[in-house]
Structure formats: structure tokens, C-alpha cells
Amino acid sequence: MLAVLVGLPLLMAVVAAVIPWYRVRSWLLAVTGLVHVVLAGLLVIHPLRAAPPGAWVGLDALSTLVLLVTSLLFLGCAIYAVPYLDLRRDRGNRMIVPCLLVFLSVMTLAVIARHLGVLWFAVESTTIASAPLIYYNRNALSIEATWKYLLLCSVGIALAMLGIMFIGYSALGLESHVSLQLDDLLRQGPQLSRPWLHTGFVFLLVGFGAKVGLAPLHSWKPDAYGEAPGLVGALLSGGLTSVAFLAVLRSVQIMAAAGDVAMARQALLGMGLLSLVLAAVFMVRQPDLKRMLAYSSVEHMGILAIGVAIGGLATFGAMLHLVNNALTKGCLFLSAGNIQRTFASKKLSTVHGAMTVLPVSGALFMAGFLAITGAPPFGPFLSEFTILRGIVAADRPGVLAVVLIALATVFIGMGSTVLAATQGEPGEPTLRGQDRFLLTAPPLVMLLAVLMLGLYIPPPLRDLLQSAADLLEAKP
């Protein structure tokens, strides 16, 4: 099953690269995404047996949750891509379709990896596979964003490699052989050399944190998200960041097994609060819709980090927020892509009255804004409220005050931008948009899923969230 999840998108990428039919190539994305979701759903309903000791790939509750999220998000973006690529025949799809399929494959490999070397290879491969996607529009701004993305993420991954080497070095001197396999490291945790382990964790947090986009390592996000197509922004913001955050959580697991989880949580808390505050500052009077969503991604990665850092109930809230963030970002980026394409701009100087020109996409963008800022009854309200309850239970009034002030600032700053874009009269009265079914159905379904998660969490998903949170709360 795991081999199919990784291998099928790779095989379809080869097929897409060689077949001559434009529309068939586009539909390969949707078909592959559908099969991937079915397989991921089966693994949630009927979990695989525990991986044998020393296995380099396998699933636990954490990886199963991230696999489900990324698979659902990719399916929505793949369906959206079919009419989108029809509208962009001038750019072609012989490059973007194989790259998207390879991107799905390596994200899946990173999720199921239970060896730090395999995890590093897969995360680095996501950088290579996604760079051509950012450059899809082929202009000066997109090439600048692509090079910044490649440079900063590659530096981060190089630092993560050093972190893996330091963690391996911390196991030298033990009676058993040195292993980078996750289960071996968790078992040997109490015996690992503390100085080398701490150094390795810091490098892993900085390295994979650059990929997550935690401040102050977030500077690639506004450019990359701003210049990439909407569907690529959705995959980066909801999919890639979730996979990279899983890599950070693996390092937290190792620290917890060694009995040093307090240090890991303090580091996560610091980066999470910094991300939240910086995002709030930069979202005030933000004139660019997609750059605003990029800073929103920084904000919500910070919220995830804070939830895991606080522990207890907040960890469960963070796991739920990971799901809510991915689906809501998918809705926002896809609807923002529809708005940008119609107005030929993503700047507030041009975009006005989106709900008049594009009633469905404009309404989805407005509703997505309410969801992502934690308005009830959407899912992010429930997950953020759960994290806040965890902060109160942990008796951290200073953290609570910073989080509440930052969230209020984000709501005000983001709201002024979204309202200016969606309300009022269009700048060009003759402008007429068209809400095509397959361009609006995926973001609508994502928004409805987020709404459902705010009202009711299905028992299988609740059990999966609790099991994932328990893995991070486990003590040696």
C-alpha cells in the first residue's frame, strides 16, 4: 500500500511527460489524486500493522493524519487544475503536471519516512519538485521568487542535514550500533549524549523550520506564494508546510524520548510567538491578496508551534488546527486565484467588488477569511479555542495575552484587505467574470469540510487526532 502511494504519482508523472494529449494530461492529476485519497482513506479506516523494527517507512497516527490532509488537499487542487490549465494553454502543462505528481510522491515519502535520512531526502526533493511550479508564470517576479525559495530552503535543508549528523553522533558510544531510524532513536533516547542531541535538535528546528516558514525563517513565503499560481500556493501553504511541520515534530519526539521535551517546547514556543507577532504586523494594511495569505500561513504555523509547545489539551488543538488550516488555505488560495485571473491583478489598487464580478469566488474568499481568522462556527475557531484552553490550563497568562492581541490584530488587518477587495463597485464597470463549476467546487467543498469540523468531528478523525497528540505527549 505504501509503495503504491509513493510509486503511483511517479508513474503517472512519467506518463504525463510522454503522452501528447493536453487535456488527458490534465485529467491524470485528478485521477491520481482520487486514487491517492481512496488509499489514504483506507489506511485511516483500516490502519496498517506497526512497521517492523528498523523499517525505513511506516505509518503512525501523526503520519497518517498528515497523509490524509495532504491527500485531500491535492485532490481538490488537482480537480481545480483541469479547467485552470485549459485557461492557461499559452503556458502549457507538460511541465506543471509531472512536477505536481512528483511533488505528491515526495510529500508522501516524507510523511511515511521513519528514517531521518529518508525524511531529509524527501523534504529536499519537495523543494526541487516545487520550484518549477513557482516559476509557472515565467516573469521577472516569479523567477526572483523561485531563486529565493530555492536558496533559503536549500540552506535550511543543509542545516537540517547537520542536525541529523549531530543526532547520529549523540548515539556514538552506545552498545548498540548507531542508527538514524526513528524507533531506534526513541528507544535509545535516555542514553543519547545530551550536548550533541541538543545541538542536533536546534539545527533540525532551524532547518525544517525554514521549510515550515516559522519566523524569522519565513522570508521566502511572501514572494513564493505571491507569484505562484493559486493551486500551487494552496499546496505549499496547506500541504508542504504540514509535511515540514511533521519533520519538526519528529525531532520533538526524539527530545521527549530523551527526557528533554521542556527544551524543545521552549524553542517551539519562542518561534511560534515570534511568527504570530510578525505575521500580525505585516498583515496590517497589506495591499497584496496573496502576500496577505502568505503571512497568514506564517501566523498559523506559529499557532501550531505554540499548541505543541504548551502541551496537553493544546497539543490536541494543534493537531486539529493542522487539518483546519490546510483545508481553509486551500479554499482561500483557489478563490484568490479566480479573483486574480479575472482582475488580472492581486493588488487592492485594482481589485474591488469581487463579490459583484465573481459572486461565488468572492463569497468563498470572504467566508474563507472568516474561517481562517477563527470566526465561529468554522473549524479554526474550535481548534484555536482548544489551544487557548490549553494555554489557560497550563497557567501561561503572558502567552495568552500575546496570542489574543496578535489574533485580534490579524483579524482587523486581514479584514480591511479582504473587505476592500470583495465589497464595493468594480474598478471597471464593464468587467465580467465567470465562476466555472470546477473552479469553484473544490474551494466550496473545502470550506464546507471546515464548517463541518467546527460543528462535528467524526469519531474516527477524533481518535486519530487524539492518537497523534498522544505520540507527542509520550514520556520515556
Cβ atoms of residues 293 and 336 within 8 Å: yes
> Going by C-beta distance under 8 Å and a sequence separation of 6 or more, which residues neighbour residue 362?
335, 339, 354, 355, 356, 422
Cβ atoms of residues 306 and 387 within 8 Å: yes
- Separation of alpha carbons 241 and 443, rounded Å: 19
Write the CA distances from 416 to 277, 296, 354, 446, integer angstroms: 18, 14, 14, 24
- Separation of alpha carbons 113 and 62, rounded Å: 12
- pLDDT tens per residue, range 255-281: 999 989 999 999 999 999 999 999 999
Sequence ranges of the domains in the chain: 260-476
Cβ atoms of residues 9 and 40 within 8 Å: no
- pLDDT tens per residue, range 383-425: 999 999 999 999 999 999 999 999 999 999 999 999 999 988 8
Amino acid identity of residue 321, one-letter, is H
Q: What percent of the chain has pLDDT above 90?
A: 81
Q: Specify the pLDDT at position 476.
A: 40
- 359 preceded by cis ω (within 30°)? no
What are the per-10-residue average pLDDT scores of the chain (476 residues)? 93 94 93 95 81 82 95 96 92 92 97 95 94 92 93 93 93 77 90 92 95 91 93 95 96 92 94 96 92 95 96 95 97 95 89 90 95 95 96 95 96 94 75 80 97 94 94 68
- What DSSP string runs through 237-259? IIIIHHHHHHHHHHHHHHHHHTT
Q: Specify the pLDDT at position 463.
A: 93
